[in-house]
Amino acid sequence: MLASVASATLSGAVGRAVTVEVHVSNGLPGFTIVGLPDAAVRESRDRVRAAVLSSGVPWPLRRITINLAPSGVRKGGAGLDLPIAIGLLVAVGELGPDRTEGLAFCGELGLNGALRHVPGMIALADATSPLALVVPLCDAREAALVRAGVVHAAATLEELIGILRGQSEWPEMPAASAVTRAASVPDLSDVRGQAVGRRALEVAAAGRHHLLMIGPPGSGKTMLAERLAGLLPLLAPSDALTVTRIHSAAGCALPDGALLDRPPFRAPHHQASVVSLVGGGSWSLRPGEVSLATHGVLFLDELGEFPVAALEALRQPLEEGVIRVSRAGGTVTFPAAFLLVAAMNPCPCGEGVYEGACTCTPASRSRYRRRLSAPLLDRFDLIVPLSRPDPDELLAGRAGERSAAVAARVATARARAAARRPGPESSQGVAPDAEALLASKLRSGDLSARGLHKVKRVATTVADLAGEDVVSFAHVSEALSLRAGRAVVA
């Protein structure tokens, strides 16, 4: 007997349709899977067998061959357990072949027959369109994000068999519960003082400028960076779907199966592997931190401690907004368009030039600086020196401005910039004294041609934040001060 069941497998953040063909014949009992299965798929034999037995169906003592088509696509993960089990039940006559018509199946099986979570359900749901998709109950809301109305769910294989035999109805889809995500975003009002750092965040958020903060321990770099995502506008629906899709493919828990509509904040540790940063893996390619940060913030604390290979790997996403990951399993392109925020100490001892307490030798200092390549430094429009907050400001105990107020200015500035496009950046007028200031910096060698371009961009953002149409001397001065940290590290 031959049966054929529709399913899908995950390749990066994209789903690929897979047809599971099951052939059962007389002969020596056995179970073979062909068609580029990975280790998890090969192991499905044991899970499928135990789950079928747990569901009260006898295991056929016959020769079972599973073919996963198309044969050129690698199949990863345990999500093919369920279609394999269903195909087997059809092939041995436990289910009528008409019972699975118009349906696709994705789900991992527990030994007790429970249907378990599979990562990447959004992409899998896409790939099985237009068939109705049957998924584990816990994945139903995630799948329904993109396939509302054509998702069915069951909690166990036994329940599913009963439904497919027409003995019972599909259970109700789990309802959405109240979302409480807003509470988890830290607020800028927690930050006391730190006028320079706060302003840098605002300018970075308004103009999508990559930001490097340089300061001694205790200068609040991490605390500031963690509050940047809260200044960005909520994601547009299409961006929210992209972000949710990537988190789904990475196996991250989604808040109650809802779309992630807040810009993500990712802060990988400098000891994290390059693969976890950029994505990949030996077989099934998974998105990395740079992709999980898409449409949000990637924060690299202690930038100078990241291995050179990790920093080099950031180049493509910073230039193109995507990352291509090549492995034996093929090449996959993930989105990777993030706002980069980095922090570092001014020198190995951390005290740097601001506190006058640096104990580093000139050699160790220059070695520290050389860790950051010029091309990487050039990615930062804003390089801001920070010092420890003034004790008087801390003791005054005045709360800082709230994130919501800053976010409102950011949204207004972004709207101004968007209304100006499309058109050359220079469509924003520059006042004569501001031009003169830039020209003098260029002549004195304080600014390179590339630096000039960056300062103009930042000054334009400052003007947008001020609601002014012409870039003034003051705007250019502030833009110059927001890259003053470059002298510390370059």
Applying CB under 5 A, the residues found at the interface with Zn ion are 347, 349, 358, 360
Question: How far apart (Å, rounded) are the C-alpha atoms in residues 116 and 193?
Answer: 49
Q: Phi first, then psi: give them for residue 363, nearest 5 degrees.
A: -65, -45
- Give the relative orientation of helices 449-466 and 403-420 as an angle to the nearest 10 degrees: 110
Nearest distance, CB of residue 196 and Zn ion, angstroms: 21
Which residue, 2 or 358, is less far from Zn ion as judged by CB? 358
Pick the closer one to Zn ion by CB: 344 or 347: 347
Based on CB atoms, which residue is closest to Zn ion, 352 or 451? 352
Give the nearest distance from C-beta 343 to Zn ion in angstroms: 16
CB of 321: closest distance to Zn ion in angstroms?
36
The Cα 177–Cα 254 span in angstroms is 13
Smallest gap, in angstroms, from Cβ of residue 368 to Zn ion? 8
Q: Which residue, 223 or 353, is less far from Zn ion as judged by CB?
A: 353
Closest CB to Zn ion among 1 and 360?
Answer: 360
Residue 190 to residues 219, 220, 307, 355, 389: CA-CA distances in angstroms?
14, 11, 32, 24, 13
Tokens of 98: 């008409």
**350 or 451: whose CB is closer to Zn ion?**
350
Distance between CA atoms of residues 245 and 238, nearest Å: 11
Write the DSSP string, 112-168: TSBEE--TTHHHHHHHTTTSEEEEEGGGHHHHHHHHTTSEEEESBHHHHHHHHTTSS
Closer CB to Zn ion, 138 or 488, in the complex: 488
> How far is 476 from 91, CA to CA, in rounded Å?
74
Least distance from C-beta 194 to Zn ion, angstroms? 22
Min CB(374)–Zn ion separation in Å? 22
Give whole-number Cα distances, 439 to 445, 451, 478, 480, in Å.
10, 12, 16, 13
Six token digits for residue 207: 């103009």
Comparing CB distances to Zn ion, the nearer of 349 and 413 is: 349
State the minimum distance, in angstroms, from the CB of residue 367 to Zn ion: 12
Name residue 339's beta-bridge partners: 297
Residue 354 Cβ vs Zn ion, minimum distance, rounded to whole Å = 10
Choose among 340, 345, 334: nearest CA to 376.
Answer: 340
State how far the alpha carbon of 73 is from the alpha carbons of 35, 128, 394, 429, in Å. 8, 15, 59, 54
Q: How many CB atoms lie within 10 A of CB 27?
A: 9
8-state DSSP, 372: S
Q: How far is the CB of 222 from Zn ion (least distance, A)?
A: 19
Q: How far is the CB of 486 from Zn ion (least distance, A)?
A: 18
**Residue 363 or 419 with smaller CB distance to Zn ion:** 363
Q: Got the DSSP string for 214-271?
A: E--TTS-HHHHHTTTGGGSPPPPHHHHHHHHHHHHHTTPPPGGG----SPPEE---TT
Whose Cβ is closer to Zn ion: residue 100's or residue 345's?
Answer: 345
